[in-house]
Structure 1
Amino acid sequence: MTDKLSLTLRPAMIHENLIIAEEYCKFKDWQQVRDEVIGNNLLQSRTLSTLKTIYGEVSKRLKNLTDNEIALLVESETDVKHIVWLAICRQYPFTYQFAVEVLTEFFDRSRFQLYSEDYDAFLNAKAEWHSNLDSITQKSRYKAQQIMFKMLFECGLTTKNKEILHQHLSPRLKELISQNNIDDLRLFPGEYI
């Protein structure tokens, strides 16, 4: 197992995912998408550096999706949050493992409430195997925890009070995930392989 396991320090950015995915569906070329999004400030950012940062983060996540998954993101309102979560998890192994080892396992054991301590325990367990996690500051740990819980809420996986919600994927999304990697269904509490 690699020693690097990075945390995401950006929220879900669902609106930005949709804008960039729509551009990708038009051009099917990431360089053209970048030129279009940045050249026309499609994300309506105040500064160029913020625009480039957000574009970079969102495009990095979306590149983990198949063309069909990106098309479904644009076409199906009901699948948007699930597909954004899928892209985040594929980009960040730490988030992927948290989804499977905490979210889904808790749900399977009928433990529906998440606490800050659950995140801390998970992070501490991973830090034993990944030295880069062991060396992050308390401030970065706290920020990463806040963003994780915010993403879970934004993507519809938990309530604002951190209660885990049963997920219902559309048949089309289930099919696309199964074609790519059936194990990814474990990212969604209540979905079973």
Structure 2
Amino acid sequence: MAGSYGAETTQGERYRLSFTVGGLLAPQGRALAEMYLNRMGDGSTERSSQAKVSEKISEKANEKSDKNAGEEVGESIAAIRQQAIEENVLAIRTDSANRRVVAETTRRLSALTVEELAYLAGPDSSTSDREALMWIAMCRYYAIVGEFAGEVLKKHYLTGNTHLDFEDYDRFIADKATWHSELETVSEGTAKKLRSNLFKAMREAHLFDKKSGTVLSFLPSPSLADILRKRADSFGYLPMRESSL
């Protein structure tokens, strides 16, 4: 079976099918990435000014970027989970919801690298770049989301057929079920939640417009593009042409 942390591989294995909570989780990802990087640096829970925190994050990333450029954070991010829950870092009203969202966010962050997390949490990333990184994290952690992004979302953009709807998703799932029988045993309610949450994540990443039902193009900033080149397959999750970089 695929491990609990990091990018999912599905050769001969079942898909992870637990993306029923939270949509893209971009603000939550940024907050927990900052918390993880601070803890990784010196174990301190001290809350300094945003400028000091950002400076510290940048320093830590520079120290580790060469070594860890392509290495995912993996299971180590679980170290902050309990603290994030106890301190209610994400300011979620109920304990049960807080636990679910923290768990889901840290799982997705586990598929990013230290350098990607530093950019996500740092002061120089734009909102659109942060949303793109959280979309990439979701695509890496959930192989079926990544395959949908490459085989449907990006393909629609590249072929000029920018209309996208639930029927496209349903056809995609039916095709995947030929090799993944677990897709046929998912309850109708869960299947609808998975589909709805995937489309919600695409909307929140501004890769899809709900009103018109169309795919929206994305172009990363030069800074994000440089980071993603170290894991160039990441561009395959985005509706863009690599030649435009």
Is the TM value for this pair above 0.5?
A: yes
1:121-171 per-position Cα deviation (integer Å, ceiling 9, x unaligned): 000000111011011122222221111111100111111233101111111
Q: Distance in 2 between matches of 1:165 and 1:89?
A: 17
**Percent of aligned positions with the same letter in both sequences?**
29
Matched residue count: 192
Q: Alpha carbon RMSD of aligned pairs, Å? A: 1.6
With over 3 angstroms needed to count, the CA separation of the structure-2 counterparts of 1:69 and 1:191, relative to structure 1, is farther
**Unpaired segments ≥5 residues, structure 2:** 1-10, 41-75
List 4+ stretches of structure 1 deviating above 6 A. none
2:38 partner amino acid: K
Q: CA deviation at 1:31?
A: 5.1
Secondary structure of residue in 2 paired with 1:100: helix
Q: Distance in 2 between matches of 1:62 and 1:112?
A: 29
With over 3 angstroms needed to count, the CA separation of the structure-2 counterparts of 1:125 and 1:31, relative to structure 1, is closer
Task: Summarize the alignment of residues 1-193 of structure 1 with structure 2, pairs less than 5 Å apart.
Answer: 1-7=11-17, 8-10=19-21, 11-28=23-40, 30=77, 32-75=79-122, 76-78=125-127, 79-161=129-211, 162-179=213-230, 181-192=231-242
**Contact 1:156 1:165 (C-alpha < 8 Å) held by counterparts:** yes
1:76-100 per-position Cα deviation (integer Å, ceiling 9, x unaligned): 1241100100110010000000000
With over 3 angstroms needed to count, the CA separation of the structure-2 counterparts of 1:188 and 1:131, relative to structure 1, is same
2:97 partner amino acid: T
With over 3 angstroms needed to count, the CA separation of the structure-2 counterparts of 1:129 and 1:72, relative to structure 1, is same
Q: If the length of structure 1 is used for normalisation, what is the TM-score?
A: 0.93
**Contact 1:153 1:159 (C-alpha < 8 Å) held by counterparts:** yes
Q: Distance in 2 between matches of 1:102 and 1:48?
A: 37
Q: Distance in 2 between matches of 1:31 and 1:80?
A: 21
- Which one has the largest radius of gyration? 2
Secondary structure of residue in 2 paired with 1:41: coil
- Greater shift, 101-110 or 136-145, is seen at 136-145
